[in-house]
Structures are given as structure tokens and as C-alpha cells.
Amino acid sequence: MADSFAFIVLALLALVLTAQCSPLLGDAPFVNRFKSTGPSDVDLDTKNTLQKEILDIFGVDHRPRPSMFYREAGKEISARKYMVDLYNSVTKNKLESENDDETDVIFSNTTTNDSNAVNADTVVSFVNHALIPRPNASDVDGAYYFDLATSVAYEDILASELRLFRKEQILSNRARQRYLKIKIYQIVIPRKIYQLVETQTISSDQTGWLVFNVSNLVKIWKQVSGSNNGLLVHCETEVGLKLSIKEAGIVDFKGPPDQIPFLVSYFKTPKTDDILVEQVQKNDDPHKRSRRKTRSVPSLLQRYLGRNGRKQELPGPSITGARFKRNNNDRCRLHGLYVSFTDLGWEDWIIAPEGYPAFYCHGDCPFPLGAHMNATNHAIVQTLVHLMSQATIPQPCCAPVQLTAITVLFLDDQSNVVLKKYQ
């Protein structure tokens, strides 16, 4: 009889294992009852392993090493300041509304016409590299070059923007008109062929940041090898009189650090780069899971309970009363765990945050598993098998069913500032 019972339970276990993997326990009532854990010293091997795992989550295969200039003096550069403001906007929105889709607010302050930008989970800013020697370079007034190389993995370019700063400028008599035209050209062949990308007409007294949609141009640069010869900014009056960049008040790479031009692109990272992919499938509807559990759990327990609800003796090792009177402090719950980027030695390339509360689930899940524990079918069956063969089958344990997104701002190998949202 015992052998037949064991076979049936193991068969049930195999069936559950073929279903979609789901966590054992829900976030209630454990999510708000956690014990904090203080920092502890770890050996070098453990630290290296932890670093590698976090780098994998970040979507980079090695520790970025940005230049010393961008780590220190680069704090005042326009691209970095913009990304810091963007990061602050993300985290502020997260605190104000934990349940809303943050991406709708993350990119609400962009002026790109590409609505796909709101779906991006990675943003990279590229600074102008006009002083870097390169083949076929153009030294024409208004020529800009942005190296789009980055060590961050991504799949799709959703949108890209060129940002230029126009300072207050006293126009010469020949340029004193109500409006100015700013045109962006792709440099197809330096000094020979230019392709118009976008035109904006602005008031002659307009100052501040000007934003141009260059999404299609950046896609061409990424898709066609060797096509990135830079872009050209052309200024003229409303009647077509050409103006130099300086005459028009456009700040170039020689201007104040917080006003120099930069490019910002919005990307979609590969699915495998998301934290939740390996743990919780996005299409796992907890309500459907609850309905499935409601139908199947009574039939499973009916094998081990009498019709009058009294517990019957199970084959295998006996169960003592002490198992059911275990201290509540040992029950499964959320525990505090803080990951410090400074302790990992990463403060030179991670701009924000200084660390994050990771937390972890730990504790006993004693039999019987109550309804408040939100146990899955697999957990119930594993509990029963564990009661039969404690030396072979481990006791089930609690696991998270929902993880909070984290946004990280960091420098890559090319000293580009990267904002990455991990779901």
C-alpha cells in the first residue's frame, strides 16, 4: 500500500513539474513582516561570484571601466546631467505611484515624435567626439560626430534625439529677422553629399535646449557598417541667408560643459536581460492560478483526509506535535538584504543608486500549508512527499511572487551614461 501511495504522489509531482513554473508562496501576509539582516563579510570568491551574477543581470559581460575624466570632471557635462535628471524623474515617479506603469512618465519629458520611446527600458546618451581622429572626417562648420559604440546589450532602437543648446545671442544686422531655420543633415560623403534629416523653425529670441528627432538616421548608422560619418547642423534666416553656428548662437563641443551637444537613444533590451524572466513569467495571471488551485487542492488533500476532515496516518516517518508548534519566528517570511555597490567596489562606474534593498525569502513552511500561505499545487505535493521521505525530498520553501523594478544609472566602457530599468 505504501509503495502504491508513493507512486501516485510522485506521479502527481511529475505532472505538476510539467506545468508553468510558479512561486510557492504569495506576498501576503509575509511581504510586510520581515527581519532585517546586517552586512556581513564575505570571502573574495563569493564576492567575485556575486559581482558576476549582478553584471549578468545588468546585461554586460564585464565590469565597465570608464575614463577617469568622465568619472570626475564629466559630472558637469550636459549628457550626464540630463541622464541624472531623467533618473531622478524615474525614481520620483516610482515612489509616488508603485502600481502605475513607470515608462509612461519616464519619457514624458522627451519631444520625440516616435511614440515607441515610452516602451524603452534602456537609455544611452552619447557625447560629441569631434576631436577624435577618424577616417573621412569633416571639419565643416556645424559637423558633429557621435560614436554609438556601447557595451550594453540591446535589440531595438526605438527613438533617438539630438539635443543642441542655443544661448542668448545678439544677431548681426544681416541676420536680424523674426525666425531662424535649423536644419540637420546626414553626412553621406564628407564635403560632397548631405541628406536632410529634419528642419525646425524657431523664434530668433528662443534660447535653451533644442531637440531634433534623428531616429531614422541612428538606425541607418547601426544597420549599415561604415555609414556613420556624423551629421551637419545648418543654420539660416527665414529668407535663406546662411549663418555660422556661432552667429546663430548654437553651442558646439568647445562651449561650456553643461551646454555641449549630445545624442540620446532609447533602446529595448533582449528578453533574457530582464530580472523576472527566469523567475516569474509576465503572463502568469495570479487570479487564474488561484482558480486552478481552488479546483485541484481539495482533490489532492482528500486522499489524505477522511471525509469528516480528520487527519489520517500517512505512510513513512511519524509526525510529532512539535512540527506544528514551531515558533512563528521560524516561519517563512521576507528578510532584509541590502546590496551596496560601494562594497562591491563599483562606485567608480555606477552613478546611482548607491545600492538597493534586495531582500530574500527564508523560513519553514510546515505541514499543513494554510490557505493564507498561497501555496501552489506543486508545493502541496512536495510537502506530502517530504513527509514520506524526508531524507530524499526537501521541504518546500517560500519564494517571491512579485519583484519590484530597479533603475540603475551607470557609465559604460565608452564613458556613455546609461540608464537601465530592470523589471
Closest to 143 measured CA to CA, from 69, 82, 228: 228
What b/e readout covers 288-305, taking b as 16+ CB neighbours within 10 angstroms? Answer: ebeeebeeebeebeeebe
Domain co-membership, 76 together with 222: yes
User: At CB < 8 A and 24+ separation, what contacts does 94-97 make?
Assistant: 94/405, 94/407
Both 174 and 49 in one domain: the answer is no
pLDDT at 263 exceeding the cut of 50: yes
Q: What percentage of the chain carries pLDDT values higher than 70?
A: 64
- CA–CA distances in Å: residue 55 to residues 62, 129, 204, 345: 7, 28, 48, 13
In a domain, 340, yes or no: no
- 230 found inside a domain: yes
Same domain, 165 and 265: yes
Which pLDDT band, with edges at 50, 70 and 90, does 288 fall under? very low
CA distance 83 to 126: 11
- The CA-CA-CA angle for residues 110, 213, 256, to 5°, reads 75
Cα 68-72-76 angle, rounded to 5 deg:
130
Q: Are residues 137 and 37 in the same domain?
A: no
Taking the C-alpha atoms of residue 201 and residue 211, their distance in angstroms, rounded to an integer, is 12
For the cut 50, the answer to whether the pLDDT of residue 35 exceeds it is: no
Q: Are residues 117 and 221 in the same domain?
A: yes
Residue 26 pLDDT > 50, yes or no? no
The residue ranges of DSSP E strands in 146-205, in sequence order, are: 156-166, 179-189, 193-203
DSSP 287-313: HHHHHHHHHHHHHHHTTTB-TTSPBPP
In a domain, 281, yes or no: no
Whether residues 133 and 174 share a domain: the answer is yes
Mean local confidence (pLDDT), 376-393: 80
Closest to 379 measured CA to CA, from 364, 390, 395: 395
User: Is the predicted pLDDT of residue 29 greater than 50, yes or no?
Assistant: no
- Tell me which amino acid residue 152 is: V
Do both 47 and 124 map to the same domain?
no
The verdict on 51 and 170 lying in the same domain is no
At what angle are helices 377-388 and 286-301 packed, to 10 degrees?
30
Query: What are the pLDDT digits (tens) for 38-52?
Result: 344 557 777 788 788
* Same domain membership, residue 227 and residue 89: yes
| Total Cβ atoms within 10 A of residue 54 | 16
Question: What would the pLDDT profile of 83-121 be if each residue is shown by its tens digit?
Answer: 999 888 877 765 555 544 433 333 334 444 445 555 778
Residue 154, domain member (yes or no): yes
The average confidence (pLDDT) of the chain is 72
Residues 91 and 212 in one domain: yes
User: pLDDT by residue (tens digit) across 213-258?
Assistant: 999 999 999 889 889 999 999 999 888 899 999 989 999 888 899 9
How many Å apart are CA 405 and CA 257, to the nearest integer?
32
- Does 325 fall in a domain? no
**Beta strands 262-268; 156-166: pairing state:** antiparallel
Output 291 or 331, whichever has higher pLDDT.
331
More confident residue, 420 or 302: 420
Overall average pLDDT of the 201-205 stretch: 91
Q: Which SS3 state, helix, strand or coil, does residue 174 take? A: helix
Residue 335 falls inside a structural domain: no
Q: Which is more confident, 181 or 38? A: 181
Residue 146 has pLDDT above 50, yes or no: yes
Contact 127/79 with Cβ under 8 angstroms? yes
The total number of structural domains that make up the chain? 2
Task: Give pLDDT, residue 37.
Answer: 39
Question: What is the domain extent for residue 206?
Answer: 68-96+111-270+412-422
